[in-house]
């Protein structure tokens, strides 16, 4: 008799990127048409050379082979708390910070601390698929909150969110800058969601993995200067994109004492501690690589400018609906065709690898997502030419 698999795992969708990677076998690559890989949001540049040297030095130390404290090296927690306080013009202390094994781990711990089987979390659609997958694995119902296209991108409405709150609602999740759309939520919109969550006595989670690709001022929101923030706000973050350290799996979260007590139990059970060398790497980055990080931010900003230029005339009928950080959310012109068929057609006929919108939630058949961090400005203009050629063909 076959063993029984947890039904919540069986009910969870398969990871979408490995399946989409299978399309590359039929990619229409030619000598003058190389693959434009716009699928996964991975920095196209390596870590700073000085950071790699610092990691190599750390690897030679005997102590880096051993555990760190469960919630992270104290000096890193202190330094990141100071960074949050400065960047958000608020007050965050070291005890408010936990270092995690990547941003996904921070999210998973926060959700596990706040909700259990049968509970609900409100998630704007489209959404990052790993978030929805984790909730399903935990028996938590994702309540979709539609986002509406406008001049500022695809935005959720706090009034609509309030209508979705029920007795089993435990949290609202926001991602800004958003994955998959690139939309940046204004401080006023974030504040409105926090006020709603506080009034309804539920948590507000904000994943700010891509915040380092925003301008230095003003702060993305004002929540860390709100005296109520420790009552139910959870800030989620990843160092991976800022320092190009995706393989080292270091993230962080900030929360008040009740949530942090729960996080400590979860972290000790799941990971015991994050990577020792990875923690030392991001500590080095926080202390020494501010200029390097801002230069990478400026590179991405220039790519956004190139994206706006390339899509100014809706090449091939493809419309840029939202963009920011690493992402462009593009409406395709092929009515009646599924987004998966369109994405696969672009791989096969134009060597353009994007992800279809339904990967990111309901009501997304008219969209594909392009992660432009993987290509330079010339690649962005090449994308527009190939989209134009696809429709012309």
> Tokens in use for 42?
């991975």
* Separation of alpha carbons 318 and 212, rounded Å: 28
Sheet holding 367-371, edge to edge: 319-324, 327-331, 367-371, 355-356
Domain ranges within the chain, ordered by starting residue? 7-46+292-392, 49-288
CATH architecture of the domain formed by 7-46+292-392: Alpha-Beta Complex (3.90)
Give residue 393's pLDDT. 65
Alpha helices, H only, the chain: 7-10, 16-21, 49-59, 74-88, 103-114, 129-137, 158-164, 187-200, 240-243, 257-270, 276-288, 290-310, 339-350, 377-392
List phi, psi (to 5°) of 35.
Answer: -65, 130
Residue 121 near residue 173 (C-beta atoms within 8 A): yes
pTM for this predicted structure: 0.95
Give residue 350's pLDDT. 95
CA of residue 290 relative to chain centroid, distance:
21
CATH class (in words) of the domain with range 49-288: alpha beta
Give residue 110's pLDDT. 98
List phi, psi (to 5°) of 228.
Answer: -90, 0
Q: How many CB atoms lie within 10 A of CB 24?
A: 14
Helix H, strand E, coil C: the string for 42-92 is CCCCCCCHHHHHHHHHHHCCHHHHCCCCCCCCHHHHHHHHHHHHHHHCCCC
> Tokens in use for 91?
């007050």
Question: For the chain, how far is it from start to end, CA to CA, in angstroms?
Answer: 54
Radius of gyration of the chain measured on its C-alpha atoms: 21
Give residue 43's pLDDT. 83
Give residue 208's pLDDT. 97
Candidates 186, 165, 194, 182; CA nearest to 128 is 182
Give residue 65's pLDDT. 96
Average pLDDT for runs of 10 along the chain of length 393:
90 89 91 92 89 96 96 98 97 98 97 98 96 97 95 96 98 97 97 98 97 89 97 96 93 98 97 96 97 94 95 96 95 94 96 96 95 92 95 71
Give residue 67's pLDDT. 96
Sheet holding 153-156, edge to edge: 97-100, 251-254, 233-238, 203-207, 169-175, 120-125, 141-150, 153-156
Q: What angle do CA 20, 21, 25 make, to 5 degrees?
A: 115
């Amino acid at each position: 008799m076959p063993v029984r698999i947890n039904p919540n795992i069986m009910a969870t969708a398969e990871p979408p990127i490995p399946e989409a990677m299978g399309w590359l076998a039929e990619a229409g690559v030619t000598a003058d048409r190389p693959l434009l890989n716009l699928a996964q949001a991975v920095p196209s540049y390596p870590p700073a050379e000085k950071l790699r040297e610092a990691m190599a030095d750390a690897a030679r130390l005997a102590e880096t082979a051993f555990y760190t404290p469960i919630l992270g090296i104290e000096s890193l927690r202190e330094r990141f708390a100071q960074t949050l306080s400065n960047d958000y013009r608020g007050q965050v202390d070291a005890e408010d910070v936990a270092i995690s094994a990547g941003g996904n781990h921070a999210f998973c711990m926060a959700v596990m601390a706040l909700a259990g089987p049968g509970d609900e979390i409100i998630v704007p659609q489209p959404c990052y698929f790993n978030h929805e997958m984790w909730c399903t694995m935990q028996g938590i119902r994702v309540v979709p909150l539609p986002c509406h296209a406008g001049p500022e991108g695809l935005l959720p409405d706090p009034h609509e969110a309030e209508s979705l709150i029920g007795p089993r609602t435990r949290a609202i999740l926001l991602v800004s800058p958003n994955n998959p759309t690139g939309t940046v939520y204004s401080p006023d919109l974030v504040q409105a969601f926090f006020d709603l969550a506080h009034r309804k006595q539920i948590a507000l989670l904000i994943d700010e993995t891509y915040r380092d690709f925003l301008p230095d001022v003003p702060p993305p929101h004002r929540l860390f200067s709100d005296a109520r923030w420790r009552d139910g706000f959870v800030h989620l973050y990843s160092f991976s994109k800022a320092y190009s350290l995706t393989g080292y799996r270091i993230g962080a979260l900030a929360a008040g004492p009740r949530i942090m007590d729960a996080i400590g139990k979860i972290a000790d059970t799941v990971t015991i501690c994050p990577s020792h060398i990875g923690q030392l790497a991001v500590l080095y980055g926080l202390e020494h690589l501010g200029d390097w990080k801002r230069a990478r931010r400026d590179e991405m900003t220039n790519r956004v400018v190139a994206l706006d230029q390339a899509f100014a005339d809706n090449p091939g009928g493809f419309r840029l609906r939202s963009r920011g950080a690493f992402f462009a959310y593009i409406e395709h012109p092929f009515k009646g065709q599924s987004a998966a068929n369109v994405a696969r057609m672009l791989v096969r006929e134009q060597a353009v690898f994007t992800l279809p919108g339904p990967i990111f939630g309901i009501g997304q058949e008219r969209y594909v997502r392009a992660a432009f961090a993987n290509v330079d400005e010339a690649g962005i203009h090449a994308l527009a030419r190939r989209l134009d050629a696809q429709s012309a063909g």
